[in-house]
Chain A
């Protein structure tokens, strides 16, 4: 009987993958699948063979009390546990808004361009570095758009074809996200509870793989941009751009330009609180840039408005993030059935996992079964329960399709979709540039993951 349940579960997994790829609502999709994956495995225990139940203690529960306990852990404890992550997301969004409002982000971009001048390749390389640095601290569609409306017109006015400008900018944003503490906390929660494995910090992760992942993506993107640029023809456009806001024109003092990386540096170096870092750097920015010169009431209103705008930036993600933990915890109940079906074919060796995932990188596109912010959450649920890998290794294995492929190269990413409309680049023209990068970067990152994170000791397993 467990085979029948296993097969139905597997079919529903493919159904979910199809649903995600078609671009339907992720929050609802995961909610439905969570309910299905609760009902089937628990109902299955009634019909399954005794030896199967005996081998899987997770499926042994005592009467209605035990059942309710399981249901509570899925529908209450799991989303609550995600609360810690959510708070980080909100504060990160606030900090992003502060950097934009004070003009720090735009000044940083302008100063960078003033070093490169009319040499497109030099300017692209410098801008990529600065963009990646900025997005170690900022995330979300709001900040990407705010920086994009500065960077993209500059690149286009230098004669860089718009598709290359788009590709290079989006790739650098994704590179920065590899060290972003908010994204780290968010993805980490897919693998373990926030209080589990306290040694798996951003600092540890950065030193062991994060820096390498960022550098690989940054360098690969820049090198590819150079190659594309060599092959392409310079273009000049006559276009009208309306101004997008006063903050873009604001000049921040030079010494404040260091503030964007302060929270990340504090976190990596001292394992200092991320939110603490956001608060310190955020208020420093507001004061040093003269944004707090009003009355007390006006200042409060400004801080409040920035917080509001920041949270609105993240809103579309939040609903999805709050249903996902239910799914993550339900996956462990479904896993014994998957093990029956897939136990023989699932890769158990780290090298094999790296190779298989590297080959299947394209399935991280269109919210497919490899990306954590898509159907990949289900793949992780299956993989982590049928085979045993260390948490940092598994993190890297899934971070690559999520960040490099989905966030950096896919048109389903909200800000990439915005960029396509803004620059009027055709989807296929963007994908023609971004998919080679997804593979080049992704494969190198898997090599790095295998070398740097392979064969970790027992302390890194759960």
Chain B
């Protein structure tokens, strides 16, 4: 037995004694795999208005709303986002998000931060003027866009510009918070005599931010598609689960799962 072999044989024992305390990861539900191409094709066909159920499923106050209300809010918030998109472009006479960000004096950074859990972070806006675009996912997306079958579905797409445009809206919203629809629309959570609590609805800001981003980068489909597209780079399985959920929320049937072999 050589020294190396001995070391290898003793390693499990040493690991058992001095190995790190293992932290048990909890197990996520499993989803059948689907090809990225089919998923993107299905999702890009969903009109923006029909995304309301998916969007509101992430809203903390969702339990208090009815579907017709959600639908109305969706339409109005989309209109709001579009309007501000046009307004800002005119105001600055610029049209790309990165130029706009510069003109608005935003501090934009592009950190590369590996992601690995069930919450994949794409971009962030911190008041007053700090925007971070997380490049790890964006780079993975770029790789997929080199494939003709993907780029024929998604068209000409700069993912980081789209993310930046979304975050810019949060800045714009803050700037016009006195008059903008997404901040003026409120619901009464409870009232007790003279006491009451009125709250804005966070989902409205997010809907408007998506519509704003779509307006700025002239995207032919709803930006929610990015959720699946960007997550796919980390976990095709999670992306498939997300796709299933989106299709069900839009009242459509998810496509049949693929055989394992041709999925990367």
Question: Which residues of A approach B to under 8 Å, CB–CB?
Answer: 22-26, 28, 32, 110-111, 113-119, 122-123, 141-142, 145, 149, 153-154, 157-158, 161, 233-245, 251, 315-316, 412, 414, 417-418, 421-424
Contact = CB atoms under 8 A, between A and B. Distances in A.
A235 B127 contact: yes
Q: 3 closest Cβ contacts across the A-B interface?
A: A117-B199, A240-B227, A118-B199
Given A236-B205, A241-B58, A24 B238 contact: no
A118 B125 contact: no
Given A25-B19, A236-B205, A316 B24 contact: yes
Nearest to A315: B24
Interface stretch (B35-43, B69-77, B95-103, B112-120): B112-120
A22 B245 CA distance: 43
A114 B167 contact: no
A175 B171 CA distance: 37
B22 interface: yes
Contacts of A158: 60, 202
A242 B239 CA distance: 8
A23 B22 CA distance: 9
A238 B18 contact: no
A321 to B, nearest CB: 14
B1 interface: no
Nearest to B31: A242
Contact of A242 (B21, B115, B202, B238): B238
B25 interface: yes
B9 interface: no
B29 interface: yes
A168 to B, nearest CB: 15
B261 interface: no
B89 interface: no
A242 B242 contact: yes
Interface in B13-69: 16-26, 28-29, 58-61, 63-64
B241 interface: yes
Chain B binding surface, main DSSP class = mixed
Given A25-B21, A422-B117, A118 B202 contact: yes
Nearest to B244: A243
Contacts of A236: 124-125, 167, 170, 205, 209
Given A240-B242, A241-B58, A24 B26 contact: no
A2 to B, nearest CB: 30
B61 A424 contact: no
Nearest to B203: A157
23 contacts: A25-B17, A32-B17, A110-B63, A114-B64, A116-B197, A117-B61, A117-B197, A117-B198, A141-B26, A157-B58, A233-B126, A236-B205, A236-B209, A237-B121, A238-B121, A238-B166, A242-B28, A242-B118, A242-B245, A243-B241, A316-B22, A418-B26, A424-B117
User: Most chain-A Cβ atoms within 10 A of its Cβ — which of B26, B190, B228?
Assistant: B26
B106 interface: no
Contacts of B63: 110-111, 114, 251
A17 B201 CA distance: 50
Given A238-B166, A243-B245, A25 B16 contact: yes
Nearest to B238: A242
Given A24-B18, A117-B199, A418-B25, A238 B60 contact: no
Nearest to B223: A238
B20 A24 contact: yes
B180 interface: no
Most chain B CB atoms below 10 A, which of A141, A157, A237? A237
Nearest to B26: A145
B189 A115 contact: yes
B230 interface: yes
Nearest to A111: B63
A234 B60 contact: no
Contacts of B124: 235-238
A233 B107 CA distance: 14
B101 to A, nearest CB: 15
A170 to B, nearest CB: 15
B141 to A, nearest CB: 12
A229 B183 CA distance: 21
Given A158-B202, A424-B121, A115 B21 contact: no
Nearest to B200: A118
B163 interface: yes
Nearest to A417: B23
Given A25-B17, A141-B26, A239-B122, 8 more contacts: A24-B21, A117-B189, A154-B60, A238-B167, A240-B230, A243-B29, A417-B23, A422-B118
Contact of A115 (B23, B59, B197): B197
A89 B26 CA distance: 19
B231 interface: yes
B109 to A, nearest CB: 14
A119 B167 contact: no
Contacts of B153: none
Interface in B212-230: 227-228, 230
Interface in B230-264: 230-231, 238, 241-242, 245
A28 B209 CA distance: 53
A414 B24 contact: yes
B202 A24 contact: no
Nearest to A367: B21
Contact of B189 (A26, A114, A238): A114
Contacts of A113: 60-61
A122 B24 CA distance: 33
B150 interface: no
Given A114-B63, A234-B126, A239-B121, A245 B29 contact: yes
Given A25-B16, A418-B23, A418-B25, A238 B122 contact: yes
B12 interface: no
A32 B167 CA distance: 55
